[in-house]
Structure 1
Amino acid sequence: MKSITHTTRASSKGFSLVELLIVMVIIGLIASLVGPAMFGKVDSSKVKTAEAQMQLLGTAIDTYRLDVGDFPTKLDDLLNSTGRHWDGPYLPKAIPNDPWDNPYFYERNGSSYTLQSLGRDGKQGGEELDADITYQ
């Protein structure tokens, strides 16, 4: 007995061009709905990262003050200093930039200090994600 194999176009496997285009349109629509929400989360997480980094720097500054008796004149004093009673370094690594890759601003104000990140735009002032983040 002979076996007969039959192939027809209807039994071929794969997707047609129209089916692929429909799938691509659906993926594009989903991405356009989900994308902005996800990028918004990235920006708000940068603000939280800046706040956490400034809190870490604040702890190092306070520890320096307890050891030396005064606030550092600049943030680099947390890593190297020749001052008396200096027991550092007070940070495990180099002083980080803020999440937007700008340096943190440090200012001594007599018996206190201010740490500041200028936000996403890197300029004084601003609103929302461009707003300055201050730690005192």
Structure 2
Amino acid sequence: MSRRPSAHAKGFSLIEVLIVVAIIGIIASMLIPNMLDAMQKAKQKRTMADMRIVGGAMFSWLTDQVGAAAAGLSSTSNIDLGDYGGLKTADALSTILIPTYLQDIPLKDGWKSRYEYYLNTANPRAIHVMAIRSTGRDGAAETDDYTVTGFEPTDYDRDVVWADGFMVRWPESRN
């Protein structure tokens, strides 16, 4: 014996379903931009942490090479990466720093672009000895000549640069 559906069957009307879908859409439109920004901030923070770790290892190498007196000699307002000797690959750097100073050298920053490492092994007593650059989200270097200053933290395309123990270009809140 089959039952016939009654005219008063319970369920949601089309209007109720559309209202719920509209509310979910509004909530999603408010949350997605914040989530995307949080992901970019995490990539930026990971990149800066990597740079500090590798920079610390480079600094330890420098101290072992020429003594603590040479460490941190340069604190100028402009940095030209051309003054830091040739660009080193992570493989070339690993022969110098692994295993004494680091377990491994990060190849790519938070945006999956290769780090640029500079280490003047030929003249560790020079004023400009070591630098690391991340080209940011866009993967393109802005310049090789940087003024020491921060930039707006939400400008993820900006280069992040560490040199001779100091951040040269970094995200900085300006409240």
Q: TM-score, normalised by structure 2?
A: 0.59
Is residue 51 from structure 1 mapped to residue 62 from structure 2 by the alignment? no
Is residue 129 from structure 1 mapped to residue 164 from structure 2 by the alignment? no
What is the CA distance between 1:114 and its match in structure 2?
A: 1.0
Alignment of 1:32-43 (within 5 A): 32-43=29-40
- Other-structure match for 1:115: 132
CA contact (8 A) 1:121 1:130 kept: yes
Q: 1:32 to 1:54 in 2, by over 3 A?
A: same
Aligned residues: CA RMSD: 2.9
Structure with the higher fraction of residues in helix conformation:
1
Ranges in structure 2 where 5+ consecutive residues have no aligned partner: 67-85, 121-125, 144-150, 164-175
**Percent identity between the two aligned chains:** 34
Alignment of 1:1-136 (within 5 A): 8-10=6-8, 12-67=9-64, 69=65, 74=88, 75-81=90-96, 88-108=99-119, 110-111=126-127, 112-125=129-142, 128-136=155-163
Relative contact order (alpha carbons < 8 A, sep ≥ 6): 1 or 2 greater?
A: 2
Q: 1:58 to 1:94 in 2, by over 3 A?
A: closer
Ranges in structure 1 where 5+ consecutive residues have no aligned partner: 1-6
Structure with max Cα Rg: 1
